[in-house]
């Protein structure tokens, strides 16, 4: 291969990789913040980024210039040496020190500003489990999973706790990233300007289904949020007679109740997500599947096939070997949990 072609190949591969990271629809794009907290982070990111770009161009440009201009050629004399030039040494010590001091001041003051607990915030306790998120609204008395509802225009103070291993909470458009560590309580504030569904996920490797531990933040106008809270506070509607009643019976008196809660019934398990208002959610199983009849049927037929589990450690929903009739009855019941 000629040197020219080899160089072309070496440039083409990284360029293709770079292009592969471009997407017209990027719901987790941190570069497009959708709330004041995320904007504060961007206001720090851009100046630091452009300073780094300028230094990169200056330093790499200098190196390239020296490599080409002073390369060894026959008959050229040794170029003038600058080693020991006091003025240059001072300049390239002082300038970076000043730049780094500036970056440090901006960074530390942003960290302090973001760590301050805002006044009038909605408080939500976020508990990370392998592999799903539990949200408790202590003041409202609401418990839900994976989809965090918040009102727009109001800071939301998250208290982050873990039931098992280290996870990390991140909804890129609404705020920063925060580790969720067992035995420790971490705080994170997020806020959304406008109603919408903002995607996020667990960003700390936490086992087999780490990639399936996603989350959504559903931002609603304060009125819609209040309505949602009222609905979530209700116990589950009693199932009408017919197949759903059979489903309820299977659920409440079978294995499901050992792990799941449906408020208003005797199912009070705390191992898996609270399902009182499951049918009001967009997704299930760590926010990875759209909530619809087909997906729920497939899920009940063989959960570990849909989302890798660690059954030997008792983590995740096991295959209960349900019959098709039982699956149908259970799904019919779950669909009533609005």
Binding-site ranges for ligand CUA (CB under 6 A)? 128, 131, 167, 202, 204-206, 210, 213
* Nearest-approach distance from CB 145 to ligand CUA, in angstroms: 14
Query: Which of 179/335 has CB closer to ligand CUA?
Result: 179
Assigned token pair, 169? 């909470």
Helix ranges restricted to H, the chain:
3-20, 36-69, 86-115, 222-233, 243-253, 293-301, 303-306, 324-334
Q: Which is nearer to ligand CUA, 217 or 300 (CB)?
A: 217
Contact (CB, 8 A) for 269 and 258: yes
Q: Residue 189 and residue 212: Cα distance in Å, rounded?
A: 24
Tell me how far, at minimum, the Cβ of 177 lies from ligand CUA, in Å.
12
CB-nearer residue toward ligand CUA: 214 or 260: 214
Supply φ then ψ for residue 126, to 5 degrees.
Answer: -105, 120
Closest CB to ligand CUA among residues 130, 152: 130
Encode burial over 156-170: b for 16+ CB neighbours within 10 A, e otherwise: bbbebbbeebebbbb
Beta carbon of residue 295, minimum distance to ligand CUA (angstroms, whole number): 21
Among residues 182 and 240, whose Cβ is nearest to ligand CUA?
182
Decide whether 99 or 211 has the Cβ nearer to ligand CUA.
Answer: 211
Residue 213 backbone phi and psi in degrees, to 5:
-105, 70
Judged by beta carbon, residue 145 or residue 202, the one nearer ligand CUA is 202
Burial class (CB in 10 A: 0-12, 13-18, 19+), 44: middle
Q: Are 140 and 228 in contact (CB under 8 A)?
A: no
**What order do you get walking across the sheet with 122-129 strand by strand?**
142-145, 132-137, 122-129, 156-162, 186-190
CB of 95 to ligand CUA, least distance (A): 41
CB of 183 to ligand CUA, least distance (A): 16
Give me 278's structure tokens: 């499951």
Q: How far is the CB of 273 from ligand CUA (least distance, A)?
A: 14
237 Cβ partners below 8 Å, 6+ apart?
Answer: 264, 336, 337, 338
Least spacing, CB of residue 269 vs ligand CUA, in Å? 21
């Amino acid at each position: 291969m000629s040197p020219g072609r080899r160089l072309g190949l070496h440039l083409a591969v990284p360029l293709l990789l770079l292009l592969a990271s471009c997407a017209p629809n990027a719901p987790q794009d941190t570069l497009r913040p959708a709330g004041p907290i995320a904007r504060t982070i961007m206001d720090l990111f851009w100046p630091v980024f452009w300073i780094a770009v300028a230094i990169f161009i200056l330093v790499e440009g200098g190196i390239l210039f020296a490599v080409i201009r002073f390369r060894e050629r026959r008959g050229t004399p040794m170029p003038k040496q600058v080693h020991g030039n006091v003025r240059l040494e001072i300049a390239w010590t002082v300038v970076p020190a000043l730049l780094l001091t500036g970056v440090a001041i901006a960074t530390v003051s942003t960290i302090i500003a973001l760590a301050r607990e805002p006044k009038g915030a909605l408080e939500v306790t976020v508990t990370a489990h392998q592999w799903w998120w539990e949200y408790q609204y202590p003041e409202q008395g609401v418990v839900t999973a994976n989809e965090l509802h918040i009102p727009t225009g109001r800071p939301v103070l998250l208290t982050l706790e873990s039931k098992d291993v280290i996870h990390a909470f991140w909804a890129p458009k609404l705020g920063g990233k925060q580790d969720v560590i067992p035995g420790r309580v971490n705080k994170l504030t997020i806020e959304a300007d406008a109603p919408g569904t903002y995607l996020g996920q667990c960003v700390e490797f936490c086992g087999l289904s780490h990639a399936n531990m996603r989350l959504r933040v559903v931002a609603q106008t304060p009125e819609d949020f209040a309505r949602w809270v009222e609905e979530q506070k209700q116990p589950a509607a009693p199932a009408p007679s017919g197949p759903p009643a059979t489903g309820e019976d299977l659920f409440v008196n079978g294995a499901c109740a050992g792990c799941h809660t449906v408020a208003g019934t005797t199912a009070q398990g705390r191992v898996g997500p609270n399902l009182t208002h499951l049918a009001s959610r967009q997704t299930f199983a760590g926010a990875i599947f759209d909530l619809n009849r087909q997906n729920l049927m497939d899920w009940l037929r063989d959960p570990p096939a849909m989302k890798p589990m660690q059954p030997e450690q008792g983590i995740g929903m096991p295959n209960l070997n349900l019959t098709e009739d039982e699956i149908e009855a259970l799904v019919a019941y779950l669909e009533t949990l609005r």
